Structure 1
Amino acid sequence: MQYLLMIYQNEAEYAKIDTGTSQKMSAEYEAFTQSIIRNGNFKAGDRLRPTTTATTVRVRDGKMLTTDGPFAETREQLGGYYLIEAKDLDAAIEIAARIPSARVGSIEVRPIWVYDK
């Protein structure tokens, strides 16, 4: 089964970390990503640009409205994701717990809805 692991972290706090800590976390992410590639769990994954680069789109009464930034103010922002293959939710949660940002933010684990064709 496929799961989307959404990585949430406070952008303002992340911006305050020193270069050494940032480089260490990047190395941890690289090691984590390589491990799930080797294990066959990795399907896709990317880091997202900051929410200051986001645009939110809504359609109301047939009119498109755009707003700079995310839809809602939150303490943590979506910073990236992994799409993984795991045998069940427990296995997906175990993988999510290994994501480096789980120590400072949160990882939302959500199963992918597969449409019957």
Structure 2
Amino acid sequence: MKYMLMIYSSPESWAGLSAEQRDGLSRAHNELTQELREQGLLVSAAGLADPITSRTVSVRDDATTTTDGPYAEAKEHLAGFYVVECEDIDQAIGYAARMPDAEYLAVEVRPVMETSGLEM
């Protein structure tokens, strides 16, 4: 089953990291990505640009509206993600716990629904 491991961050948590800690985050992600790739478990992974670069799109009565920035005002934001193929949620949680970001804010684990329907 596929699971999305969503990495959350905040400007405060990122600003509070030293250059050495940021380098450590990068190295740990590279090592985990390589391990997942070698085990054939990695489906996809990417970091996301700062939320200020986002655009929120809505359609009402056939009219499209686009606004700058994220939809919700929040202290935390989605900073990146991994999609992994795991035997069960416990295995996915184990990988999420190994992400260095879990030490600073949080990593959310959520099953990915199949495109054939709403079943998981």
TM exceeding 0.5: yes
Query: Mean alpha-carbon deviation: is it higher for 13-22 or for 81-90?
Result: 13-22
* Contact 2:13–2:104 under 8 Å retained in 1: no
CA RMSD of aligned residues (A): 1.5
Instruction: Give, in angstroms, the shift of residue 39 of structure 1.
Output: 1.9
In the alignment, structure 1 segments of 5+ residues that lack a partner are: none
- How far off its partner does 1:34 sit? 1.1
Identity of aligned residues (%): 37
Q: CA deviation at 1:101?
A: 0.5
Greater than 6 Å deviation, 4+ residue runs: none
- Which consecutive residues of structure 2, in runs of 5 or more, have no partner in the other structure? none
2: CA distance between counterparts of 1:12 and 1:54? Answer: 19
**What is the match of residue 68 of structure 1?**
68
For the residues of structure 1 that align with 2:115 and 2:66, how far apart are their CA atoms?
Answer: 30
Q: Could you tell me which amino acid in structure 2 is paired with residue 5 of structure 1?
A: L
> Could you tell me how far apart the structure 1 residues matched to 2:40 and 2:46 are?
17
Would you say the 8 A contact 1:56–1:69 is kept in 2? yes
SS across alignment from 1:79: strand
TM-score between both structures, scaled by the size of structure 1: 0.91
Contact 2:13 2:105 in 1 (8 A): no
1:41 aligned partner, one-letter code = L
Q: Deviations over 1:13-53 (max 9, x none)?
A: 31343322211211111111111112221111000110011
Query: Which residue identity does 2:63 align to in structure 1?
Result: K
Aligned to 2:48: 48
